[in-house]
Structure 1
Amino acid sequence: MDLRDLLKAITTLAQNVIGIPANLAVLLVFVHIARAERRLLPADIIVSQLVFVNLVLILSRGIPQSLSALDYRGSYNTATCKFLMFTYRTTRAMSIPLTFLLSAYQGVTITPSSSRLYSLKPWLSRCLLPLSLLFWLLDGGTSYSSILYTSQIHNITFSALTLNLGYCLVEFPSEESYFAIGVMSLTRDTCFILLMVLSSLYILLILYQHCKRAKGIRSSVQSQGSSAENRAAKTVVTLITVYVIFFGIDNLIWAYTVTIGKVPVVMNDVRVFFSTLYATVCPVVVIVSNKRVNRKLRCDKFAQDSQSKETTISTVSVKFPTF
């Protein structure tokens, strides 16, 4: 195994080892909350969809990529390759509108009740399911090239427009199709990215105004609720910032590959790494910043500590009775 394959194996395995348990843990937390409380908040519904999409993305791309980097090619036929590639493309595309939807909802949540945007909050809550279905149809419909041009690895000489994933091939028939599909995907994603950036700027503006008004206020219930909303808003801004950075690197590499005749293999490896990195980082940000999720994940430890303390107190009360 050469240095390139070694680095590829290490990075993809790291993404799998971190991303799969993290996304699965957050998803199970929301499943537990839904069963215990019989409902989920709109923001929790969006985040649970986002981590589900991230989990499927890593499973459909990360695991085959890791096995390929470890020189295990597997027995992927053309149908399996088409399924894996279509699933990856669709879920990767879905992470963008879902992050935008989360930022839009968080923005109207923290906006002052006197603002016209505040009236969008109940509308967004009611339309989460239709909007999600619309995004799935949009992203699935614009990922059709994965079905058309993906095939199993064969012994025919690859063209300059062939993307060799190591376990499957994506073969574009012409430069025009390669460029057209790339522009279509870039336009779709960029529109949501721009909306994402605008909503994050609005959130930052509202947070700044809240900070100015909340100076000197520390103990009221209203300020505590506002603080929780502000923490959630800051988490959303962090997710957007991370996504924009990874999206920018991914598409700068794509733009570079369009301008040259033959794409270096290492460039495709770097692009694949950044295209899936958000799916690994996103749940980690949620676990660290979302106190509700963090508390649920640590509940077993707290329960054990509490049980230990109760046993100690019981023992002490026997030895030293109170008169």
Structure 2
Amino acid sequence: MANRELVVGLIFLTKTTVGILGNFSLLYHYILLSFTDYRSRSTDFIHKHLTAANFLALLCKGVPQTMAALGWKHTFSHFGCKLLFFLHRVGRGVSIGSICILSVYQAITISPPNSWWAGLKVKAPKYIVPSIFLCWMLQMLVNIIFPLYVISASSDKNSTNEKNFGYCSSVRHERTTDSLYAVLLSFPDVLCLGLMLWASGTMVFILFRHKKRVQHIRRTVSAKSSPESRATKTILLLVSTFVYFYTLSSIFQVILALSDNPGWILVNVTAMTAACFPTISPFLLMSYNSKVPRLLFAWRGNIKSPHLMRNM
């Protein structure tokens, strides 16, 4: 095994392990909550499905990519390759959709009473569950044609009719067909990205305007410690992280899709960038909800504190 393949395999192994453990820890947190008197928030349902989608994307991309980098390149059958690619695409799409739904819901929640969408505040929680399930269904329908041309990696290195992705391959098409196909698959993601940026920008604007209105009340409180500043920084952190990794991943995905003979470096860099956000997002959510470590500590110590449960 070449040294570069060993290094790439270890990178994939580390990133996949950290990401799976992070997402599993967040799911474990919500499982523990179901055994307590905690009243779940509306956003908890979104977080659960976001974590499940990230877990699915990492499992179906990171694990086989790690195996391929470490030398197990011809492990999966045609059906296995089709299933892995389909589930990864669905998980990636639901992850994007969940972030979009979360951003829009938060924008509606913090909107002022005199805004035109203030009437949605009462109805918004009722739409979360159907929106998430609709997201799963749409991603399954959009990506149903994705695995049709995916096949297992050929042992014939001289094959000129296949794009080799390491552990699986795909049949080559004309450049026009690949371009139209890329546009079709990218449209839901671009739509979600636009809605997310609009909602996040709206939240930042609302919080900034609110801070200006009440700053005369907080003469003695620094701007850095104000709730508006902390909420704005959290929103900017989540959105900027998502947009950065999604944009980077999309650029490499487009280059890979339009490449007739993708090289070893391009295939692995594309896979690495695709795994970045699913790996980091559970830790961002845990830092956003600082009560997660406290709940785990209380559970392990067999402590059922009413004060803790009331403040979750």
* Residues 8 and 69, structure 1, Cα contact 8 Å, conserved in 2: yes
Establish whether residue 178 from structure 1 lines up as the match of residue 178 from structure 2.
Answer: yes
Kindly state the Cα deviation for residue 46 of structure 1 after the two structures are TM-superposed.
0.5
The AA in structure 1 aligned to 2:277 is Y
Kindly state the Cα deviation for residue 60 of structure 1 after the two structures are TM-superposed.
1.1
Q: How many residues align?
A: 297
Give the Cα separation in 1 of the matches to 2:31 and 2:247.
Answer: 33
Establish whether residue 285 from structure 1 lines up as the match of residue 278 from structure 2.
Answer: no
Deviations 1:111-156 (A, max 9, x none): 2222232322232210112111211121111112332011112234
Residue aligning to 1:111: 111
Give the Cα separation in 2 of the matches to 1:232 and 1:59.
Answer: 32
Residue aligning to 1:149: 149
Give the Cα separation in 2 of the matches to 1:80 and 1:295.
Answer: 41
Residue aligning to 1:120: 120
Deviations 1:245-265 (A, max 9, x none): 112112222344466553322
TM-score, normalisation: structure 1 = 0.82
Give the match's secondary structure for 2:236. Answer: helix
Give the Cα separation in 2 of the matches to 1:214 and 1:117.
Answer: 22
* Residues 43 and 102, structure 2, Cα contact 8 Å, conserved in 1: yes
Change (3 A) 1:258 1:147: closer
Give the Cα separation in 1 of the matches to 2:235 and 2:10.
Answer: 29
Residue aligning to 1:29: 29
| Equivalences for residues 181-192 of structure 1 within 5 A | 181-192=181-192
* Residues 19 and 279, structure 1, Cα contact 8 Å, conserved in 2: yes
Kindly state the Cα deviation for residue 278 of structure 1 after the two structures are TM-superposed.
0.5
Root-mean-square deviation (CA), in Å? 2.7
Give the match's secondary structure for 1:142. Answer: helix
Kindly state the Cα deviation for residue 53 of structure 1 after the two structures are TM-superposed.
0.7
Give the match's secondary structure for 2:262. Answer: coil
| Equivalences for residues 130-145 of structure 1 within 5 A | 130-145=130-145
Residue aligning to 2:308: none
Give the Cα separation in 1 of the matches to 2:123 and 2:47.
Answer: 18
Change (3 A) 1:72 1:41: same
Establish whether residue 50 from structure 1 lines up as the match of residue 25 from structure 2.
Answer: no
| Equivalences for residues 165-314 of structure 1 within 5 A | 165-215=165-215, 217=217, 227=227, 231=230, 234-257=233-256, 261-299=260-298
* Residues 179 and 258, structure 2, Cα contact 8 Å, conserved in 1: no
Change (3 A) 1:37 1:245: same
Give the match's secondary structure for 1:143. Answer: helix
The AA in structure 2 aligned to 1:281 is I
Kindly state the Cα deviation for residue 2 of structure 1 after the two structures are TM-superposed.
2.6
The AA in structure 2 aligned to 1:188 is P
Deviations 1:21-68 (A, max 9, x none): 111111111222233136421111111110111111111111111122
Residue aligning to 1:7: 7
Give the match's secondary structure for 1:71. Answer: coil
Give the match's secondary structure for 1:75. Answer: coil
Give the match's secondary structure for 2:36. Answer: helix
Residue aligning to 2:18: 18
Give the match's secondary structure for 1:72. Answer: coil
TM-score, normalisation: structure 2 = 0.85
* Residues 162 and 169, structure 2, Cα contact 8 Å, conserved in 1: no
Larger radius of gyration: 1
Residue ranges of structure 1 left out of the alignment (5+ in a row): 219-225, 307-323
The AA in structure 2 aligned to 1:159 is T
Give the match's secondary structure for 1:297. Answer: helix
Kindly state the Cα deviation for residue 300 of structure 1 after the two structures are TM-superposed.
5.3
Change (3 A) 1:7 1:207: farther
Residue aligning to 2:78: 78
Return 255-264 or 110-119, whichever deviates more: 255-264
Q: Percent identity?
A: 26
* Residues 9 and 69, structure 2, Cα contact 8 Å, conserved in 1: yes
Give the Cα separation in 2 of the matches to 1:296 and 1:13.
Answer: 29
Give the Cα separation in 2 of the matches to 1:296 and 1:159.
Answer: 55
Change (3 A) 1:99 1:173: same
Return 290-299 or 186-195, whichever deviates more: 290-299
Kindly state the Cα deviation for residue 107 of structure 1 after the two structures are TM-superposed.
1.1
Give the match's secondary structure for 2:99. Answer: helix
* Residues 90 and 139, structure 1, Cα contact 8 Å, conserved in 2: yes
The AA in structure 1 aligned to 2:110 is I
* Residues 22 and 283, structure 1, Cα contact 8 Å, conserved in 2: yes
Change (3 A) 1:280 1:182: same
Give the Cα separation in 1 of the matches to 2:48 and 2:64.
Answer: 24
* Residues 12 and 273, structure 1, Cα contact 8 Å, conserved in 2: yes
* Residues 161 and 172, structure 2, Cα contact 8 Å, conserved in 1: no
Give the match's secondary structure for 1:151. Answer: strand
